[in-house]
Amino acid sequence: MLEQTQRLEETGAGIQLSPNAARTLIDLGLESRLRPQAVVPTALRILGAASGREIVRIPLGEAAERRYGAPYWVIHRGDLQAALVAAVSEHPAITVKLGTRVEGFAADADEVTVWAHGHAGLAREHGVALLAADGLWSVLRERLGDGKPPRFAGRTAWRGLVPADQVRPEFREPLVHLWLGHDAHLVHYPVKAGRLINVVAITTDSWNAPGWSQPASAADLIARLTAEGWAASALALIGLPEAWLKWALYDHPPRRRWSQGAVALLGDAAHPMLPFLAQGAAMAIEDAAVAAQCLARQPNDAAGALRTYCAMRRDRTRRVQRSAARNDARYHLAGARAWLRDTAMRLIGGERLLQHYDWLYGWRPPASLSII
């Protein structure tokens, strides 16, 4: 594994690991490392941003675990990373080279050569295949001939963390809260075994500096949401984190081609998506499981294995990208259309709303490939 970061630090805030992702991580033997840090939300509680009233509760917790055979977890990204790093460092066949930035590659029938800048300057690495999991701004995607950059979504994500004992008791409960407002929504849930609350707000914005995590001002966010008439309890929560970071959101229409010979894209490099279905990392985790299985089944034909991997992942990730984009429209309705949405959700009810996600949360690697 070649990673440009110099040090693996506990960065980022919370992440939702829906049953499709949790199952894959459990199959990889990570349950004992993840479960102590994860929170199992009992439901997704959807509220109106202006009224502050609950619209519907979609059951998660035991209901999701019964239905999908795997838990729904929310966790701090640092805890997920620590579990993955610990498992990787115990694996004799895996070497992690930090401070190593991949610049390009050359592939022939038998071998892939990668050029990477490390502590000792430019070095070559040789392997049978290259999985390019270099994220939204993937350099390797460009090297594969897809120079189209991600497109700015006109939205900003703001995130903060607050000690759980500072928030109202109802916001400390093991629930994922989703507040729907016009042109903005808010998500919060407990992480770190319930000790911290992760708060993420999404607003409409023209600010589009690429990259991650710029310092942001709570006052700015509160002013925007106050102008939109948000409920006092939501505004009070937003006032609590000591620091806010923000970043501009990008996505990309589904790409036709992710692989070339024994080189393939994985995760956001292949299929960046808006975070409105909480599935970007889940799709990267599923990709990794399927790619590993394909390579294990065809150890002497890496190009063939990666062609199979792409064929197996294309339709699903495309569907998830499109569903996430549709949620962008659904979440940010106003007036009569918002009223109709809320009424429909109430009439359908939480149980049946959960069933709409069977195709997503019930995913398992194809049986013929179950060799993890």
Ligand X SMILES: Cc1cc2nc3c(=O)[nH]c(=O)nc-3n(C[C@H](O)[C@H](O)[C@H](O)COP(=O)(O)OP(=O)(O)OC[C@H]3O[C@@H](n4cnc5c(N)ncnc54)[C@H](O)[C@@H]3O)c2cc1C
The DSSP code for 233 is: H
Q: Nearest to residue 55, comparing CAs of 286, 333, 365, 371?
A: 333
Which residue from 156, 203, 279, 317 is in contact with ligand X, where contact means CB under 6 A?
Answer: 279
Which residues fall within 8 angstroms of residue 347, CB to CB, at 6 or more apart? none
Residue appearing with tokens 């980022």: 12
Q: CB of 172: closest distance to ligand X in angstroms? A: 19
Q: Give the list of residues 6+ apart from residue 57 with CB closer than 8 angstroms, or none.
A: 43, 44, 45, 46, 350
Of residues 134 and 328, the one with the C-beta less far from ligand X: 134
Give 342 or 365: the residue with its C-beta nearer to ligand X. 365
Task: Out of 183, 251, 268, 328, name the contact with ligand X by CB under 6 A.
Answer: 268
Span from 38-46, 230-238, 264-272, 293-301 in contact with ligand X (CB under 6 A): 264-272
Binding string to ligand X for residues 282 to 311, with x set by CB under 6 A, is what?
A: x-x---------------------------
Q: Which two tokens stand for residue 359?
A: 């195709």
Contact range with ligand X by CB under 6 A, out of 105-113, 169-177, 266-274, 342-350? 266-274
Please state the closest distance from residue 336 (CB atom) to ligand X, in A. 29
The verdict on 95 binding ligand X (CB under 6 A) reads: no
Name the residue among 356, 302, 371, 354 with its Cα closest to residue 44: 354
For residue 354, the surrounding DSSP H or E stretch is: helix 350-355
Q: How far apart are CA 302 and CA 315, in angstroms?
A: 21
Q: Is 3 in the site for ligand X (CB under 6 A)?
A: yes
| Beta carbon nearer to ligand X, 41 or 275 | 275
Give the Cα separation of 274 and 187 in Å (integer): 14
Query: Does 350 engage in binding with ligand X (CB under 6 A)?
Result: no
Tell me which stretch binds ligand X (CB under 6 A): 35-43, 168-176, 190-198, 261-269: 261-269
By the rule CB under 6 A, 238 interacts with ligand X: no
Closest contact distance (angstroms) between CB of 100 and ligand X is 6
Interface with ligand X, residue 78, by CB under 6 A: no
Tokens of 215: 């310092």
Q: How far is CA 370 from CA 193, 223, 305, 316, 364, in A?
A: 31, 51, 15, 18, 9
- How many alpha carbons fall within 13 Å on the CB side of residue 192? 14
| CA gyration radius, the chain | 21
Q: Does 197 bind ligand X (CB under 6 A)?
A: no
Q: Tell me which residues in 160-189 interact with ligand X (CB under 6 A).
A: none
Which of 5, 6, 213, 370 is close enough to bind ligand X by CB under 6 A?
A: 5
Tell me which DSSP letter residue 148 carries. Answer: P
Catalytic annotation present for 68: no
Nearer to ligand X, 112 or 282 (CB): 282
E strand or H helix at 284: helix 280-297
Q: Which of 40, 123, 128, 139 binds ligand X (CB under 6 A)?
A: 139
- Span near ligand X by CB under 6 A; candidates 272-280, 302-310, 331-339, 345-353: 272-280
Give the whole-angstrom CA distance, residue 282 versus residue 320: 10
Asked if 80 is part of the footprint of ligand X (rule: CB under 6 A), the reply reads no
Distance of CA 319 to the CA centre of its chain: 15
Catalytic residues: 189
Contacting residues toward ligand X, per CB under 6 A = 2-5, 15-16, 101-102, 133-136, 139, 157, 200, 267-269, 275, 278-282, 284
